[in-house]
Structure 1
Amino acid sequence: MKIAVMGAGALGGYFGGRLAAAGQEVTLIARGAHLAALRARGLKILSPRGNLHLPAIPATDDPGAVGPVDVIMFMVKNYDVESGARAIAPMLGPQTMVVTCQNGVSAHERLGAIIGARRVVPGVARIPAHVAEPGVIDHSAMWDRLTFGEADGRVTARVEGFRDAILAAGATAVLPDNILHDLWKKFISQATLASMTTLTRLDLGPLRANPDSRALFVAAMEETERVGRAVVHDLPGGLVQKEWEILDTLPDTMHASMLDDLNAGKRLEVDYLSGDVVRLGRKHGVPTPIHNVLWAALQPLKDGAPPRLANAD
């Protein structure tokens, strides 16, 4: 299977590396210092599921040099979805499948509007990983699940084949009954976790331990669930409780990757997290006062934290 990873950061590097080590033909598409390190020293994965070093994995910043592939793992940031969709055009063959792995619930539709919805398979990644240094992926727990499926619920040969390839590589792949349900299950907690940890610059532990911030956290999740029910009418019940049970098991030091982006001076995905809660709430007539505050409060930071002003004398 010929696979391209568009946006080979932490998640793309992890899954791409596992697939390459298992014998799949994988090309990583990256940029900057990370690409330079991949070319010079290869890819390293540090993981409790087994460390890995691929000293000669193909890596480029030019999708045109790759040519048509069977699968594109589309792992760019949300704010790069449209530009990334145009960039992958040289890699699209007649049967190419593009699996999305962005945070939130809107990326697959935005991507499909540009490259054609039939090519797009929505996906949800649940894996704690980050780029520890250029060329090095730090995967910090045993779970590494990629859930994906056809938007219409069909189980097709293409999704089964890609699932089997991931499983053979020693990672976890799941074909759900309804991928839209899975997108919203994660989004209900993810949108709140991202905005609250980023806005407060705190890990989950203190937010979870304080009764007032805990109550706000739960209320924001409930708000997102109400929006989800307006968008996906058959969304299962009890999702806030189920997601909170997961959040309660996570380490106190857990926080969203959006906080890491803020601390690194990078752009934020807030418009596609709390911002999409607000946008979809307005579209479907569901009030979203909590996420409106979270989204609006983060707007001055969404293009990177501005420099601090010196204290006036």
Structure 2
Amino acid sequence: MRILVVGAGAVGGYFGGRLAAAGRDVTFLVRAQRAEELKRTGLVIRSPRGDLTLRDVKTIQASDTAEPFDLIVLSCKAYSLDDAVKAFAPFVGPSTAILPLLNGMAHIDALKEKFDASQVLGGQCVIAATLNREREIVHLNDLHSITFGELAGGSSDRSRAIDEALQGAGFDVAASESILQQMWAKWVFLATLAASTCLFRASVGDILAAPDGRRVIEGFLSECRAVSAHNGYPMGEDFVARVSGTLFAEGSPMTASMLRDVENRSRIEADHILGDLIRRGGVEQHNDAQLSLLRLAYNHLKAYEARQAREA
């Protein structure tokens, strides 16, 4: 199976690098500067699960020509999706499968509009990784997994073939027969975490130390669950019990990656993670004097974006 990984940053570089090291036929779609970096120093991963330096990395650029790939793995930020689609579109053929690892759901709609809907898979990943100053991929904890599946549910020859190609590459892989339910579950959790930690500009532990901190996190979780249920993906008490150990852990230093982006004065995915959740409905409408918690957090982040644009 010929695999194209779009980008060689923290997420795409990690999973693509592991796949390439395991002998899979992997090519990275990168810009000229990143291609030169990889040629000069190789693809370097620093990880508790084992370091890796991969030489002679196969790369391609958007202006190049190549036969269509069997699988395209997409792991860009939501605000870079349009540019990413333009870059990899020439490498999509009639039988190409597109596996996005973005959070939320708006990217699924966008990909289905651009390509044949049957070519788009559902997917998600769990990993904490970043690029350091040397442009090495630094894996920050033990978690590294990909879950994927057919958007229509169930299994297929295609999903089984992809599962076989991804297995045994040094990270966890699961083929799901209900990937949309799992994607919504992750979205609800991440939106709750992002809204809470960004609004307070604090970790989970610090929020819980505030007089009404727990109530606010509970409010966010309730609103996010309401949206999910409104769209046909209810999150029951088993889900609440599962995420509560993280969202209500006393003294926890956990923050959302979106807060780290805010603190670094970087671009954020406010529209994709919170704005689109609000747009999909399910939260009781409030008058202007009684904004829902989700709308309050979203407006907080949009004000941040406005300031960033003004100061750019």
Cα deviations across residues 90-136 of structure 1 (Å, max 9, x unaligned)? 11022111001112122112211111211100111111212223531
Determine the structure 1 residue equivalent to 2:173.
173
Kept in 2: contact 1:45–1:138 (CA 8 A): yes
Among 275, 300, 303, the alignment partner of 1:297 is 300
- The Cα shift of 1:66 comes to 4.5
Q: CA RMSD in A?
A: 2.6
Q: TM-score by structure 2 length?
A: 0.88
Change in Cα spacing, 1:247 to 1:101, as seen in structure 2 (3 Å) is same
- The Cα shift of 1:63 comes to 6.3
Q: TM-score by structure 1 length?
A: 0.88
Kept in 2: contact 1:8–1:75 (CA 8 A): no
**What is the correspondence of 1:12-161 to structure 2 with a 5 Å cutoff?**
12-31=12-31, 34-62=34-62, 64-161=64-161
For 1:265 and 1:198, locate their aligned partners in 2 and report how far apart those are by CA, in whole Å. Answer: 13
Query: Gaps (5+ residues) in structure 2?
Result: 286-290
Counterpart of 1:221 in 2: which secondary structure? Answer: helix
Kept in 1: contact 2:228–2:234 (CA 8 A): no
Change in Cα spacing, 1:161 to 1:197, as seen in structure 2 (3 Å) is same
Q: Percent identity?
A: 31
- The Cα shift of 1:9 comes to 1.7
- The Cα shift of 1:246 comes to 3.8
Cα deviations across residues 242-287 of structure 1 (Å, max 9, x unaligned)? 2222445698333222223223332210001111121111xx5744
Aligned residues: 307
Change in Cα spacing, 1:240 to 1:263, as seen in structure 2 (3 Å) is same
What letter corresponds to residue 156 of structure 2 in structure 1?
Answer: T
Kept in 2: contact 1:189–1:240 (CA 8 A): no
Cα deviations across residues 2-22 of structure 1 (Å, max 9, x unaligned)? 111113321111100000001
Kept in 2: contact 1:181–1:236 (CA 8 A): no
For 2:251 and 2:165, locate their aligned partners in 1 and report how far apart those are by CA, in whole Å. Answer: 31
For 1:81 and 1:21, locate their aligned partners in 2 and report how far apart those are by CA, in whole Å. Answer: 27
Change in Cα spacing, 1:39 to 1:205, as seen in structure 2 (3 Å) is farther
Cα deviations across residues 68-102 of structure 1 (Å, max 9, x unaligned)? 11110011111222332232211102211100111
Decide which moves more: 297-306 or 221-230.
297-306
**What is the correspondence of 1:238-253 to structure 2 with a 5 Å cutoff?**
238-248=238-248, 252-253=252-253
